[in-house]
A = this chain, B = another copy of it.
Amino acid sequence: MAFRSDIEIARDAKKKPIQQIGERLGIPSEHLLPYGHDKAKVSQEFIASLKDRPEGKLVLVTAINPTPAGEGKTTTTVGLGDGLNRIGKKAVICIREASLGPNFGMKGGAAGGGMSQVVPMEEMNLHFTGDFHAITSAHNLLAAMIDNHIYWGNTLGIDERRVTWRRVMDMNDRALRDIVVSLGGVSNGFPRQTGFDITVASEVMAILCLSNDLADLQERLGRIVVAYTRDKQPITCRDIKADGAMTVLLKDAMQPNLVQTLENNPAFVHGGPFANIAHGCNSVIATRTALKLGEYVVTEAGFGADLGAEKFFDIKCRKAGLKPSVAVIVATVRAMKMNGGVAKADLGAENVAAVQKGCPNLGRHISNVKGFGVPVVVAINHFHSDTEAEIQAVKDYVAGQGAEAILCRHWAMGGEGIEDLARKVVQLAEAGASHFAPLYPDDMPLFQKIETIARRIYHADAVIADKAIRDQLRVWEAAGYGNLPICMAKTQYSFSTDPNLRGAPTGHSVPVREVRLSAGAGFIVVICGEIMTMPGLPKVPSAEMIRLNDQGFVEGLF
């Protein structure tokens, strides 16, 4: 068979009408709001009606630290969902929505790959059901209302130099990173310096993904700290009276989006917060809805397990009261080789020694995740150049860590290629071996929480933070924010803060550059290193090649 690209496979998908996918989950058609024939939102009313139903089992798909070789976390999430359905379990997939802007820079992100994809792929990489546009509007309404308040007399006493709420756009536009607004004279307001972030970095995105319902959403939006007075008292979104209107703008975006896999299994694709300055998981409301409707819910977290799984457990699960039953850690032979020191160009040649040398990265993720009390299984996402000996080396290593590694061929075969993993997941889940607990208690002092993550997850010796940062944390503790969890923002490429330090480093330290309060989302962001919240376009952006072809299909996006 000739090689087919992800987009070619996606276009050939035999999609079922979305109402049929909804029916399988028991969603009445009046509560499934279609967007075209292959996407739909689930009504708030129906979701509210599920309140007292029992919940299915939650499976987290996480991964080793990403390498340029790719690990296939979303592909495995989708494949495992298909595999579970194939072995007779009613499984629902929950993944994040894609951001539109970056697709016009580098080639766009697919929703899975090969035979393990969610469709319609083009639309999920463009406007989809408009959720991100709604978030952009809500975020920027608040921004406009802040400057409008200052313009009309500033009765709240906002210090224009201390407006922390920026604007957002779902576009890679470096020119907007650092701007001066309100030029042009009296009628345009008071000039001040500010900027735009990309929409996925908005606190509104994180809030939408962590809210239980519309009332909780409005409550959280109201808590956002947007500015400070001259004597450093916080001004909130509620002070600006923007929380009600923002909730109205977000009411449809709060409804989870239902689509399907290539094998016509249900997938919720909802929410997409940054995995560095936010928690990087799909929405609580989608995950909870899926748990009410399915026996198994397969979801993923951003980046590697050091960032993604830790935040999934310590932020999303802690706050939403979710109890994961099993965690799948995705690894590839190629990524093990890169961790073992092999360059990308040389990945095609067999190198068992390098695989063995790279495995400690995987080993540390296994022990870290086990530390949360969740049973672990490793998925080896098969690549055609993998050799038997290399695969065996990974299996042997994982066995030595007290876990099992299972070869998965879902990329090439779909759900059929991942039945072994599905059976293992069911076995672990039904054994009831999970005793999930977050890493640290709510009432631990903030700095100590940071140290706990750095030591127990990153295996660092120390956290380095200057007095201003420690003082800031104490100010927030005094102001009642001390019980919030920590949201670490560091490189995803290493356990350390040095992106080039692969494997399982020790003896390193974690320097904290900045801390930020996300009072609405409900976490303290701890920034270690440079975090870019507004990407730029490359020299030749993919937008230059993107176009509709003669058949009306999108070319150049994938």
Q: Which secondary structure characterizes the binding site on chain A?
A: mixed
Cα–Cα distance between A548 and B33 once the two chains are bound (Å) = 19
**At the interface, yes or no: A35 with Cβ under 8 Å from chain B?**
yes
Nearest residue in B to A252 (C-beta to C-beta)? B127
B144, B153, B183, B248: the one contacting A126 at CB < 8 Å is B248
* A133-B133, A140-B171, A182-B175 known; A245-B547 Cβ under 8 A: yes
Chain A interfacial residues counted at CB < 8 A = 75
- Is B127's CB under 8 angstroms from A148's CB? no
Q: Which residues of B contact A172 (CB under 8 A)?
A: 144
A362 at interface by CB-CB < 8 Å:
no
| A118 vs chain B, min Cβ distance (A) | 19
Given contacts A148-B541, A546-B248, contact A179 B181 (CB under 8 A): yes
Per the bound structure, the CA–CA distance linking A352 and B173 in Å amounts to 60
Q: Does A36 contact B (CB under 8 A)?
A: yes
Q: Point out the residues of chain B lying under 8 angstroms from A241, CB to CB.
A: 543-544
B-side contacts of A147, CB under 8 Å: 173-175
Q: Which of B130, B173, B543 contacts A245 (CB 8 A)?
A: B543
Contact check, A546 vs B245: say whether CB atoms are below 8 A apart. Answer: yes
Nearest to A246 among chain B residues (CB) is B543
Chain A residues numbered 342-368 whose CB sits less than 8 Å from any CB in chain B: none
Give the CA-CA distance A483 to B10 in the complex, in Å. 46
> How far, in whole Å, are A17 and B194 apart by their CA atoms in the complex?
46
CB of A178 within 8 Å of the partner chain: yes
Of A34, A167, A175, the most chain B CB neighbours within 10 A belong to: A175
Contact B44 A33 (CB under 8 A): no
**Which of B35, B173, B179, B546 interacts with A140 by CB under 8 Å?**
B173
Of the residues B151, B170, B179, contact of A174 by C-beta under 8 Å: B151
For the complex formed, measure the closest distance between the CB of A229 and the CB atoms of chain B, giving whole angstroms.
19
Asked if A134 is an interface residue, CB under 8 A from chain B, the answer is: yes
Specify which chain B residues have a CB less than 8 angstroms from the CB of A143 in the assembled complex: 173, 175
A180 CB within 8 Å of chain B? yes
Interface centre among A151, A172, A537 (most CB of B within 10 A): A537
A536 within 8 A of B: yes
Residues of the B chain whose Cβ atoms lie less than 8 Å from the Cβ of A127: 130, 133-134, 137, 249, 252
Interface residues of A in 116-175 (CB under 8 A from B): 126-127, 130, 133-134, 136-137, 140-141, 143-145, 147-148, 151-153, 167, 169-175
Bound complex: CA of A174 vs CA of B30, how far in Å? 41
Take A143-B173, A144-B175, A537-B145 as given contacts and tell me if A104 and B180 are in contact as well, using a CB distance cutoff of 8 Å: no
In the bound assembly, the distance between CA atoms of A176 and B189 in angstroms comes to 10
Decide: A104 and B245 in contact? CB cutoff 8 A: yes
Interface residues of A in 166-220 (CB under 8 A from B): 167, 169-184, 187-189, 193, 195, 214, 218
Tell me the complex Cα distance, A126–B248, Å: 9
A 205-256 contacts with B by CB, 8 A: 214, 218, 241-242, 244-245, 247-249, 251-252
CB-defined A-B contacts under 8 Å, sample of 26: A35-B35, A44-B552, A100-B137, A130-B130, A133-B133, A133-B137, A141-B543, A143-B175, A144-B172, A145-B541, A145-B544, A147-B175, A148-B174, A148-B536, A174-B182, A175-B181, A175-B182, A178-B182, A178-B188, A179-B179, A179-B180, A187-B536, A244-B543, A245-B546, A245-B547, A248-B547
